[in-house]
Chains A and B, each alone.
Chain A
Amino acid sequence: MRYLPLTPADRTEMLRVIGAESIDALFDDVPEAARLSGTIEGLPDHATELSVERHMTALARQNTVAGEVPFFLGAGAYRHHVPASVDHLIQRGEFLTAYTPYQPEIAQGTLQMLFEFQTQVARLLGTDVANASMYDGSTACWEAIGMARRITRRGKAILSSGLHPHYVSVAKTMAKYTGDVLETGTPTLSADTDLDALIAAIDDDTSCVVVQYPDILGRIADLQPLADACHAKKALLIAVVTEPVAMGALKSPGEMDADIVVGEGQSLGVGLQFGGPYVGLFGCKDKYVRQMPGRLCGETVDADGRRGFVLTLSTREQHIRREKATSNICTNSGLCALAFSIHMTLLGEAGLRRLAGLNHAGACHAADRLAQVPGVRLVTPRFFNEFTLDLGQEARPVVRALADRGVLAGVSLGRLYPGEDSLANGLVVAVTETTTPEDVEALATALEEVLA
């Protein structure tokens, strides 16, 4: 077996050193009844690289590859072009096969990268500080709600109806067990966000308001009035960013005084990957840093006075605080954070702004073109790279029909909100730098045919 270096002679010699008669003797502590007799049911013996590759490739071929068709899906996961050097660098064995940097003398590569990542994320989101990443955006969102509870000692969170329904679902799951009260709502198929309603709902029991920016339909709104309203009641504003590229064009939530900003970082460096692994972004104001969940990397010096980096404030974490930890999380998404950070370094501020501009311009063009299709109405007048169309008929079957024609048209609101008839006609369309004018034309043409 190519992955197991011991030879039969090695095993014999090692058993002799140990003083055991056989391998089975080393498993003496396993009661007879617990031992698996015979082999693993149905699993063939070890296989060559070539044969495994054939099996996996056959499975891969059954999928429609986003890059091979006109493709318009977003809703929390976006297809961007990732420069070739990103994947090359994250496959360096010293990054790929390293552990969590608990021995800082021989992990400065990972630690310095995390320090750079934290700074990039904080600047992107407009927060004072950021952590070394979370599992993904949805879990980061829930962790932010828990953090607001710890800071305010209040248990009611108000979730905007524009928050991704799967993020809401994750929060609902967790709240069942922590006792947090969540106020949630369903969006309307209109240009109006629920900001005014959120402001009206804040009271003295409110720990936080959670708002997505841009929201699930692609809408954008100034968060400053909402932040002011939160702070007037000593509640926190949590902003959720599922498309970090938007931060190259849009004022950041931190600039609008959000207290905690979380996000999904998948757009930069990571790719679609059918939903994971992704990378959760988590930033906040300085004064809340000790209530922040997740790993943190900090600057210090070594015994010779040279600058170095270490994991710090770890007393917040589960391995020390056990049942009193800020969270039960004990990993971050290190390699995805590295991919994010490399992509961001390649872009730089100038590149990020240019990339965001291209995304926005492409989306504006697509929105105009698709709104010309008979029966189609553009719901969202202001947006970044994702907008919502009202198709005038149920969108979900339309998406399926378009897939049959080789166009992946977007995410139907029927998929995201099953059973919500008022949203069934909605289609959320994302456009990035990978979308060509020909793709838009293919979608428009196919849509005309299907809707007719």
Chain B
Amino acid sequence: MTINQSGWKPEMAVKGADAAAPTFTGNKALMLEEPLIFEIGSTETTGVDFAEGDVKHDRLGDLTRKAPIGLPGLSEPETVRHYTRLSRQNYAIDLGLFPLGSCTMKHNPRLNERMARLPGFADVHPLQPVDTVQGALGVINELAHWLITLTGMHGVAMSPKAGAHGELCGILCIKAALEARGEGHRKVVLVPESAHGTNPATAAFAGFTVEDIPATADGRVDTAALKARLGPDVAAVMITNPNTCGLFERDLKDISDAVHAAGAYVYCDGANFNAIVGRVRPGDLGVDAMHINLHKTFSTPHGGGGPGSGPVVLSEALSPFAPLPYTARTADGHVHLIEEERTEEFSNEHFGGKLDSFGRMTAFHGQMGMFTRALTYILSHGADGLKQVAEDAVLNANYVLRSLEDVLDAPFGSAGPCMHEALFSDSNLAEGFSTLDVAKGLIDEGFHPMTVYFPLVVHGAMLVEPTETESKAALDQFIGALRSVAERAKAGDASLKSAPHFAPRARLDETRAARKPVLVWKDAEPQAQAAE
């Protein structure tokens, strides 16, 4: 059997002994407990008033829903209070620095929210006649233009719904291109061992066999090993740049040339595009496909786990295979929506003479609400602002790296500057103390922890991405907090083992949750039955 190499150990899920709240309500002043809607609502209550009207007319046949559904309702004030109270149990960027490496948690400009809610964008149906949605198609087309320009690529597929979906789109383009060339027999995708887990998952889904490429001691892809593995069975190489250790892959152009010479394609995971936007164009490095997480680089809100948006920029070789639908603007200014029809009409001038789309990836045109936000972001920042974004993101990360490398082990710290992420390991903590303890200690200091145990190539990894929207004062406070927690972990401060002590909840029992999963609320047994 294989054993987890990440450095996470089961005993890290410590059972602490913090006394429960000593108040009548269980609340602690502003820290408010909130029951489930199933415990406070009633199926007879509704927070919505409806117009009077006849509802008797019935063409449902014998399919009327008669049995109780079990959906509790609340009045509007109760609803507002329920969700407001829940919201206060969350950490968020609006509350403070959110240094999750690889996730790019930066400020979400509120103008973007206002623009996405303009009725002309928010209250438009995806299947309206195209003459009635020229502005919405215009947004898609305009954003597509800037994404192509910023990356130096040839085309872009806008419809993927999130990063992993975009990754799948890029890999499907590669597969389609290989098959069109009669080289569908190329079955191997090379993935560096430091890659995001989605990379191998995506390649495997598309029917490829995944092979790991080792890293060098300085945290980069082993170029020699990669080149040695290229051959007639290799379909693609998937590389993250800047990589998951927060370093720029210096050899990427050289690698791309070798990959192309061997008849394969280069997929770039664009999760870390934030570090180079406006300064480096992936197209100049020989990349064939790269997804762009609009919720990272272009700051559409993460929303507690989506929705994301993952357009994929494509090289000239892959553009003809992009998914439906797509937009095309003609000289008269009209923006066309190309669906299952009209692909012939729009193939030549826009897609290099040939168009062979692999089909749809989603029902409609992609994440329109994210497109409006991302376009607003790009126009607000402009050419100078976007370049400054990359520079300040890299400056902030290097400032964190150099301010803490005396107290925390920085495995690649001596190899030169990092990009937008500072990477530390758990190697100099006291015996019995781990990355998880540092993370939980940071919670008590009022910060969201950094990314932990990723990338897998570093033991007990702590990946800090401060982003460019933090002030120097905020960084200094974070550095002070992390230094303090790290020193406690090095000194063997036992109280760290049961942290957090001041959060709405102490460490949660994940084993219990996974052994006997309780995934939905079950109503209590009726009294009579329970008494039996």
Contacts and interface: CB of A to CB of B under 8 A. Distances in A.
A94 B160 CA distance: 26
B134 A332 contact: no
B329 interface: no
A214 B396 CA distance: 54
A26 B193 CA distance: 25
A5 B498 CA distance: 35
Interface string A342-362: 101111111111110110111
Contacts of B201: 318, 321-323, 325, 327-328
A364 B59 contact: yes
B124 A272 contact: yes
A75 interface: yes
Contacts of A403: 128-129, 131-132
Interface stretch (B225-233, B272-280, B344-352, B524-532): B272-280
Interface string B120-144: 1111111111011111101100100
B267 interface: no
Contact of B513 (A99, A299, A352): A299
Interface in B484-518: 498, 500, 503-510, 512-514, 517-518
Interface stretch (B10-18, B312-320, B423-431): B10-18
A39 B46 CA distance: 56
A345 B79 contact: yes
A325 B164 CA distance: 13
Contacts of A17: 399, 402-403
B399 A138 contact: no
Given A98-B304, A106-B89, 17 more contacts: A5-B471, A14-B398, A17-B402, A17-B403, A52-B380, A62-B138, A93-B95, A94-B90, A103-B91, A109-B88, A129-B520, A306-B506, A323-B201, A345-B82, A347-B47, A350-B43, A350-B44
Nearest to B46: A351
Contact of B519 (A3, A166, A296, A327): A296
Closest 3 CB pairs of A and B: A348-B73, A60-B120, A275-B364
Nearest to A29: B248
B38 A119 contact: yes
B321 to A, nearest CB: 11
A303 B120 contact: no
Interface string A27-39: 1111101111001
26 contacts: A59-B136, A60-B118, A60-B119, A60-B120, A60-B121, A87-B117, A95-B83, A97-B93, A98-B93, A118-B520, A119-B521, A135-B362, A220-B63, A222-B63, A251-B66, A271-B122, A274-B136, A276-B367, A303-B17, A304-B20, A312-B514, A330-B162, A330-B198, A348-B46, A349-B68, A433-B51
B62 interface: yes
Residue from A276, A321, A350 whose CB has the most chain B CB atoms within 10 Å? A276
A128 B152 CA distance: 49
A369 interface: no
Given A93-B94, A177-B206, A351-B50, A318 B380 contact: no
Interface string A97-135: 111110111111110110110111011100011101101
Given A4-B469, A56-B372, A112-B86, A348 B72 contact: yes
A11 B395 contact: yes
Interface string B62-88: 111111111111101001101110111
B74 A63 contact: no
A276 B362 contact: yes
Contacts of B392: 4, 6, 11
B389 A4 contact: yes
A45 B281 contact: no
B472 A6 contact: yes
A63 to B, nearest CB: 4
Contacts of A123: 69-71, 520
Contacts of B163: 330-331
Contacts of B207: 177-179
Interface string B263-307: 000000000000010111100110000000000000001111111
Contacts of A13: 472
Given A95-B87, A135-B362, A303-B17, A106 B278 contact: no
Contacts of A382: 59-61, 63
A29 B16 CA distance: 45
A92 B55 CA distance: 36
A172 B324 CA distance: 13
A352 B127 CA distance: 26
B76 A408 contact: no
B463 to A, nearest CB: 13
Contacts of A43: 146, 149, 378, 382-383, 386
A452 interface: no
Given A65-B120, A108-B505, A323-B204, A330 B309 contact: no
Interface string A132-144: 1101111100000
B376 interface: yes
Given A97-B92, A110-B304, A349-B43, A136 B362 contact: yes
